[in-house]
């Protein structure tokens, strides 16, 4: 048998690179996908996911939706192979593309998936940074309830509970409930936030978006109702 | 006695004593009574399953799976709570052979069931358990500087002279500078800690890659060794002097012919 899927895959990749230079974006993604399939035929999932990542990088600027799709597929291949440690960069890149597309909750979901992958390989630092990044993402989208829910869920993870990022997140959320803009800005400049991914740092520096005082009044109203019930009894 | 005989005897004995099997009787009685009892038993079975899952989630070590199980529990609870209004409606229906007190008891049962469903723990506890906000990370205990002086000396205690005033001011300035310096140091330490963590993770990431490289290089080395041995054998076979002389003679002949042709 003369078939050699490895060589075929390598040739497909070169074809895709040429298509990229010509600007035929559909062909780029098709060729890279075919190359990835051929690599999987050879039983080599790493080059397969690498091919998809190259495709995603090529399409980031032109067709961001397709790029995100490719990143997710590449991450899925790596996770099937049990190589979650390689997926961190992919999830980071996927979330930055989502941010460019202004789909902040999707970006936060990517970061939470990063957190899950980090949990599987005991990479606690990356996990905590991912969770803090997700919370900041929700706050940037001005979705305070989601941010709080996210924070509550993440606090159940021991590694996050004991970390610096947890304290920073709790201070940020309490600053939001109190409507303290100065505190929010100060926290965004702190070293904990400055160690995150640069996309997240940019978003954090722009906090608070929208009207923080509205959140303050909401929180105050919520506190009053339980008191009323107590008065009636 | 064969196995089949044993099985048949066991079956007949079980049938004889079936009336003493409490669980079975309960199930037989529950079914076929009326719609209310049936639905009630179904919801109760669902509630038991949810309780079991929540117990499993409580002792679950992996937090990520616990979160996933809690989400599942929440969904099942919502589904069970949807059945409650149906149950309530059935409880109010008149069924023959049922007295008024029993009907009221049924609606009480429904309310109690609803409370039990809602009481199932589903991990929706807000993170109020912030273990030590003021403690520094890695809980090495609060690092306290032994400074009791707060700069609040009352004038009653002593009379200020110019010198002591100046001294106090200088002290304050130096203290502020120290604080600034310590802030700079703490930022630097934060950066170092972050870098160290990242390096740690990077090294962890590279360990399996190194193992793979190790395996592949070992395989390549052994292949090379076998190839070398075979090459050596082949060259030894080819190097026998007779073949060598024949090669040289033939070469000379060919050169002679070529030179003759081109002369």
Place of tokens 């002086």: B149
Q: Which residues in chain B touch residue A192, judged by CB atoms under 8 angstroms apart?
A: 190
Q: Are the Cβ atoms of B127 and A123 closer than 8 angstroms?
A: no
- List all residues 6 or more positions away from A120 whose beta carbon is below 8 Å from its beta carbon: A84, B64
Q: Considering CB atoms only, which of A119, A152, A192 is closest to B126?
A: A152
Cβ <8 Å between B64 and A191:
no
Q: Which of B64, B130, B198 sits opposite A116 (nearest CB)?
A: B64
Most confident of the following: B38-52, B55-69, B75-89? B38-52
Q: Does A153 touch chain B (CB under 8 A)?
A: yes
Nearest to A167 among B124, B133, B205 (CB): B133
Of B138, B191, B201, the CB nearest to A126: B201
Does the pTM exceed 0.80? no
A156 part of contact set with chain B, CB < 8 Å? yes
CA distance A84 to chain B (A): 9
Give the CA angle between residues A194, A199, A201 to the nearest 5°.
25
Q: What is the complex's ipTM, to 2 decimals?
A: 0.80
Stretch B230-246: mean pLDDT: 84
- Name, of A1-10, A78-87, B226-235, the range with top average pLDDT: B226-235
d(CA B152, CA B158): 12
Main-chain dihedrals φ then ψ at residue A33, nearest 5 degrees: -65, -40
Indicate the helix (H) or strand (E) that contains B124: none
Cα distance from B74 to chain A (closest Cα, Å)? Answer: 14
Mind telling me how many Å the CA of B183 is from chain A's nearest CA? 11
Nearest CA in chain A to B200: A123
Distance from the Cα of A174 to chain B's closest Cα (Å) equals 12
Residue A31's pLDDT band, with cuts at 50, 70 and 90, is: very high
Instruction: List pLDDT tens digits, range A133-144.
Output: 999 998 888 888
Chain A residues closer than 8 Å to B137 by CB:
162-164, 167
- Chain B touched by A170 (CB under 8 Å): yes
- What is the tens place of the pLDDT at every residue in B100-159? 777 777 778 888 888 888 777 655 544 444 444 444 444 455 566 665 555 555 555 666
What integer pLDDT is reported at residue B40 of this predicted model? 82
Q: Name the residue among A121, A156, A195 with its Cβ closest to that of B194.
A: A195
Supply the mean pLDDT for chain B. 79
Best A121, A135, A167, A173 residue to mutate vs chain B (most B CBs within 10 Å): A167
Determine the Cα–Cα distance for residues A59 and A67; give it in Å rounded to an integer.
Answer: 5
* Residue A135 near residue A149 (C-beta atoms within 8 A): no
Query: Is the separation of the CB atoms in A188 and A205 below 8 Å?
Result: yes
Question: Is A72 touching B (CB cutoff 8 A)?
Answer: no
CA-based nearest distance B202→chain A, Å: 9
CB–CB contact B126 A123 (8 Å): no
B142, two tokens: 């609060």
Question: What count of Cα atoms within 13 Å lies in the side-chain half-sphere of residue A223?
Answer: 7
Q: Which residues in B lie closer than 8 A to residue A83 (C-beta atoms)?
A: 208
Is B197–A125 a contact, with Cβ atoms under 8 angstroms apart? yes
Give residue-wise pLDDT tens across range A135-170: 999 888 888 888 888 888 888 888 888 888 888 899
Residues contacting A133, CB < 8 A, separation 6+? A95, A108, A111, A196, A197, A200
- Among A165-179, A208-222, B99-113, the range with the most confident prediction by mean pLDDT is A165-179
Contact B190 A158 (CB under 8 A): no
Q: Is A165 on the interface with B (CB under 8 A)?
A: no
Closest by Cβ to A125, choosing from B66, B198, B208 = B198
| B188: confidence class by pLDDT, cuts 50, 70, 90 | very high
What one-character-per-residue DSSP string does B23-63 give?
HHHHHHHHTTS-HHHHHHHHHHHHHHHHHHHHHHHHH-S-H
Question: How many pairs of residues across A and B have Cβ atoms under 8 Å apart?
Answer: 57
- Indicate yes or no: CB of B127 within 8 angstroms of CB of A155: yes
In DSSP notation, A163-195 reads: SHHHHHHHHHHHHHHHT-HHHHHHHHTSHHHHT
Q: How far is B52 from chain A (nearest CA, A)?
A: 20
A117 chain-B contacts, CB cut-off 8 A: none
Q: Is A113 part of the contact surface with chain B (CB cutoff 8 Å)? A: no
Given a cut of 80, whether residue A41 has pLDDT beyond it is: yes
Contacts of A134 in chain B (CB under 8 A): none
> Average pLDDT, stretch A48-63?
92
Q: Report DSSP letters for A73-108, one per residue.
A: HHHHHHHHHT-GGGHHHHHHHHHHHHHHTT-HHHHH
Distances (CA, A) of A231 to A220, A221, A223, A228: 17, 16, 13, 5
Q: How far is B187 from chain A (nearest CA, A)?
A: 6
The CA distance from B108 to the nearest CA of chain A, in Å, is 23
Q: What is the pLDDT of residues B11-47, one digit of tens each?
A: 988 888 887 877 777 766 655 557 777 888 888 888 8
Q: What is the pLDDT of residue B142?
A: 59
Are the C-beta atoms of residues A88 and A114 closer than 8 Å to each other? yes
CA distances to A61, B152, B189 from B177, rounded to whole Å, are: 49, 20, 18
């Amino acid at each position: 048998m003369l078939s050699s899927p490895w060589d075929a895959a390598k040739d497909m990749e070169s074809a895709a690179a040429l298509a990229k230079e010509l600007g035929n974006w559909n062909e780029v993604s098709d060729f890279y996908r075919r190359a990835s399939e051929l690599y999987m035929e050879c039983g080599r999932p790493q080059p397969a996911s690498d091919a998809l990542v190259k495709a995603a990088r090529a399409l980031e600027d032109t067709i961001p939706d397709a790029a995100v799709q490719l990143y997710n597929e590449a991450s899925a291949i790596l996770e099937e192979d049990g190589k979650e440690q390689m997926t961190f960069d992919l999830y980071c890149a996927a979330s930055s593309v989502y941010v460019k597309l202004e789909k902040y909750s999707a970006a936060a979901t990517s970061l939470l998936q990063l957190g899950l992958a980090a949990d599987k390989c005991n990479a606690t630092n990356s996990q905590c940074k991912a969770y803090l990044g997700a919370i900041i993402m929700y706050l940037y989208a001005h979705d305070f309830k989601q941010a709080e829910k996210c924070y509550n869920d993440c606090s159940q993870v021991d590694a996050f509970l004991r970390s610096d990022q947890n304290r920073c997140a709790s201070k940020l959320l309490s600053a939001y409930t109190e409507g303290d803009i100065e505190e929010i800005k100060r926290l965004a400049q702190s070293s904990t936030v400055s160690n995150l991914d640069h996309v997240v740092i940019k978003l954090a520096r722009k906090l608070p978006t929208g009207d923080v005082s509205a959140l303050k009044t909401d929180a105050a109203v919520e506190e009053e109702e339980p008191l009323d019930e107590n008065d009636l009894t | 006695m064969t196995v089949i005989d044993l099985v048949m005897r066991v079956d007949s004995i079980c049938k004889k004593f079936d009336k003493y099997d409490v669980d079975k009787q309960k199930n037989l009685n529950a079914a076929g009574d009326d719609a209310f009892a049936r639905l009630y038993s179904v919801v109760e079975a669902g509630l038991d399953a949810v309780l079991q899952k929540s117990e499993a989630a409580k002792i679950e070590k992996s937090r990520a799976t616990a979160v996933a199980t809690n989400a599942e529990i929440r969904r099942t609870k919502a589904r069970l709570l949807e059945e409650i209004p149906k149950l309530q409606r059935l409880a109010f229906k008149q069924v023959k052979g049922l007295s008024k007190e029993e009907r009221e008891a049924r609606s009480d049962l429904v309310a109690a069931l609803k409370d039990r469903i809602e009481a199932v723990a589903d991990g929706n506890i807000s993170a109020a358990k912030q273990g030590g906000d003021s403690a520094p990370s890695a809980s090495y205990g609060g690092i306290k500087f032994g400074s009791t002086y707060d700069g609040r000396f009352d004038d009653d205690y002593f009379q200020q002279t110019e010198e002591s005033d100046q001294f106090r001011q200088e002290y304050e300035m130096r203290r502020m500078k120290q604080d600034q310096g310590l802030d700079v140091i703490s930022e630097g330490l934060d950066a170092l800690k972050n870098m160290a963590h990242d390096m740690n993770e990077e090294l962890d990431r590279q360990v399996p890659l190194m193992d793979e490289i190790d395996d592949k290089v070992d395989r390549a080395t052994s292949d090379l060794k076998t190839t070398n041995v075979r090459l050596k054998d082949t060259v030894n076979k080819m190097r026998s002097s007779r073949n060598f002389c024949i090669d040289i003679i033939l070469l000379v002949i060919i050169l002679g012919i070529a030179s003759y042709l081109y002369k």
